[in-house]
Structure 1
Amino acid sequence: MVEGIGFFVFSLLLVALLIPVVIRFSFLLGLYDEADGDRKDHGRNISRLGGLAVFAGLMTSVLLFTDLKTDLNMVFALASFILLFTLGLNDDVCGTGPLLKIAVQLVSAIILISAGWCQEPGWIGLLKIFLFVLLCNAFNLIDGLDGLAGTLGLFVNLFFGILLFLGEDHSYGGIALMLSGSLAGFLLFNYAPARIFMGDAMAMLTGLISGLMALRFIKLADGGGISFLYSDSAMAVALAVLIVPVFDCLRVFLIRLLHRRSPFSGDRNHIHHRLKQMGYTDGTVVFRLLIFNISMVVMTLFLQHLGNFTLIILLFSICVFSNGLLTFMIRKTADKNYRLRDVLLRDTLNIGRN
């Protein structure tokens, strides 16, 4: 574990040194994010190339401390990381359409699982591809508030990294801890008021790597590699760790489709936007969502004897109830005639709206 701590600290320090360089570089070339007065809250131009420093910190650590010769799958993983990051960087600089994003996310996911593709049933491979694409978009969608995507990415990969290390999966556990350290270095400059943004490049890659670590964690736990975990609850524990970005992404996409809009159209209906409507500051929103996420993990660990099916139903039920309560509180403040049933009929199914 001392080795893992070293990975974390090295990545953190490297990214913390690189961020000021990226900020100066961004403004020299005019590559910054402008406030649009609609979906963006910042009142000044801010560099959107923070992903460059995070990616450099991650890849430098991986190349220095990981033995790529002993694991062919690791080479596939790095190829997938580079491809997805390149797409995201193009989006941060020039803009990219949603269809091209999805296409490259699919290719990156296929590369990531292709080394073991023939060893599994086809539907398992398709399910993994869906998971990777979902998480790429989930982390990209929550990257709309200072510190949020970085904090959740840090928590997710720190959790998986520590448990993978304890289970003797040092290669992938090391990558998770390297990413955690890189995100920690980035967050020194990203908490409100942010001096730099992560950008689509690193937000999508954080989602991809988080999905990879979740699968490694499930495989390790299913094989009895983590002594205090029940093998038939590993999937639910992994979902609990990822629950905030996963539920927010699924909820927003579903509501957009029910309202006959493109699932990729922008709006201010994400969980962080809705908590801001309640009057919370950026820092408070990040803290509350992190505590909620940790609470879901702790609850799942305590109830792991219930098994995957029951726990997954419980996790989503809590999220649906919490979301409905938040919707009711927001709408009731603006409309005294708003009723509890309107959460489902008006705001979810789009029935009865004027």
Structure 2
Amino acid sequence: MISQLLALAAFLTALVVCLGARPIGERFDVMAVPDNRRKRHAIPTPQVGGLAILSGLMVWMIGSLALSAPPADPLLISILLSAAGLGLVGFVDDQRDLSPPLRIMLLLTFMGIAFALDPHLISKTLNWYSFAETPISPWVYVPLMGLTTIGIVNSVNMADGQNGLVGSMFAIWSGCLILVSSGTMADVAAILLGLSLIFLLFNFTGKVFLGDCGSYGVTFALGLLVARAHVDHLVSLETVIVWFFIPVMDCLRLMIARPLQGRSIFQGGRDHFHHRLIDSMGMRWSAVLYIAVVASSSLIATLYPRFALLCVCGLCAFYFSFARLSEGEVEAAQEDATDTGKAMAGRVVSLGGHRERR
């Protein structure tokens, strides 16, 4: 009964934040203002979705820790402090644009805090399904996790450019964690799933955006759960690769492509994978396809890890069939579509005039 009440309190907290998103966003200056290029939404929109999810998660965690018998679960404490801290970093970044080196330094700091609070997050092996376990020294694993954390958090942040995408991935990854885990890990994943769905109710309609608070803090919380699940042999490395494949691959592509174009990797642009999908099939169907591919591949790799490598091959084919388009090719396609539309409109007008004359 108490656990249900805590979950209800968490969900109500997120709901209240989403319902009061506009005054909160205006009060704390975290409004996404349209620029008619990358940010093409109609009106200034509050970026408090991450605040809604994290505040609900913190309510549930604090309540769970307060009511549980000692000793406290180190996983809960590490998520509570590090995810909340990194979420605060993202919230400040939404307000005043922190420099990339500072964000990376703070991200690594909170990762170190999480490992210090829960040393069980540090694995002694890389656990595969299709291959033998690979022993790994902590002196190698920790720096490797640092690079992985930087990559995943920034890749999810880059993917947050279309309503519903990142929130849906949060829900998908949380659901997959529920399928493979139990106890505290499954409880946290279930709360994150519910909170993500509440956020999506407002995000799909464009009333609330996630913001860096969410793309940093929530992604980091999920990353800690995934790391712990991997350490406990609950999920193979191939399956984890499938879960995060599209956002991470897109981040890697842009890290190579942008410097070749003389641009900073941190400079925004309409060269992300979701932009390629939008330009190819429109806003609605691009989101449906993106979410469906992530959901189906993640579910298959979770329930049937022997097929995870096949999922990776399928995801490669899907990703590069759209990401291979250059910005010039997309613009040319758009111009062709515009010219075709104008020609058809002119033909309709001409036919209409002909009918009137008859």
**Fold shared per TM-score above 0.5:** yes
User: In structure 2, what is the Cα distance between the partners aligned to 1:147 and 1:212?
Assistant: 23
The residue number in structure 2 matching 1:350 is: none
Residues 1:123 and 1:5: Cα distance change in structure 2 (over 3 Å):
farther
The residue number in structure 2 matching 1:62 is: 61
The residue number in structure 1 matching 2:351 is: none
User: In structure 1, what is the Cα distance between the partners aligned to 2:3 and 2:273?
Assistant: 33
Residues 1:4 and 1:295: Cα distance change in structure 2 (over 3 Å):
farther
The residue number in structure 2 matching 1:304 is: 305
C-alpha contact 2:54 2:84 (8 A) present in aligned 1 = no
The residue number in structure 2 matching 1:125 is: 142
User: In structure 1, what is the Cα distance between the partners aligned to 2:63 and 2:243?
Assistant: 28
For structure 1, the residue ranges without an aligned partner over 5 or more in a row are 226-230, 336-354
User: In structure 2, what is the Cα distance between the partners aligned to 1:4 and 1:217?
Assistant: 22
TM-score (norm 1): 0.79
Q: 1:255 aligns with which of 234, 239, 257?
A: 257
The RMSD of aligned alpha carbons is 2.8
Shift of 1:156: 0.7
Q: Does 1:324 align with 2:305?
A: no
Residue correspondence of structure 1 range 127-206 to structure 2 within 5 A: 127-165=144-182, 170-192=183-205, 194-206=206-218
Residues 1:286 and 1:279: Cα distance change in structure 2 (over 3 Å):
closer
Q: Does 1:285 align with 2:286?
A: yes
**Does the residue aligned with 1:188 lie in a helix, a strand or coil?**
helix
Shift of 1:73: 4.2
- Residues 157-198 of structure 1: CA distance to partner in whole angstroms, max 9, x if unpaired? 121134212xxxx22222222122111111111103x11111
User: How many pairs are equivalent?
Assistant: 313
C-alpha contact 1:11 1:179 (8 A) present in aligned 2 = no
- Residues 69-127 of structure 1: CA distance to partner in whole angstroms, max 9, x if unpaired? 33234323322112211111111122211111111111111212234269752101111
**Does the residue aligned with 1:69 lie in a helix, a strand or coil?**
coil
User: In structure 1, what is the Cα distance between the partners aligned to 2:243 and 2:61?
Assistant: 24
- Residues 177-222 of structure 1: CA distance to partner in whole angstroms, max 9, x if unpaired? 2122111111111103x111111011111221222122222223x2
The residue number in structure 2 matching 1:343 is: none
The residue number in structure 2 matching 1:348 is: none
Identity of aligned residues (%): 22
C-alpha contact 1:12 1:182 (8 A) present in aligned 2 = yes
- Residues 245-301 of structure 1: CA distance to partner in whole angstroms, max 9, x if unpaired? 2222222222223434322111111111111101322x4222211211123234435
C-alpha contact 1:102 1:133 (8 A) present in aligned 2 = yes
Amino acid at match of 2:193: S
Residue correspondence of structure 1 range 216-295 to structure 2 within 5 A: 216-220=228-232, 222=233, 234-281=236-283, 283-295=284-296
**Does the residue aligned with 2:203 lie in a helix, a strand or coil?**
coil
The residue number in structure 2 matching 1:41 is: 40
Residues 1:303 and 1:89: Cα distance change in structure 2 (over 3 Å):
closer
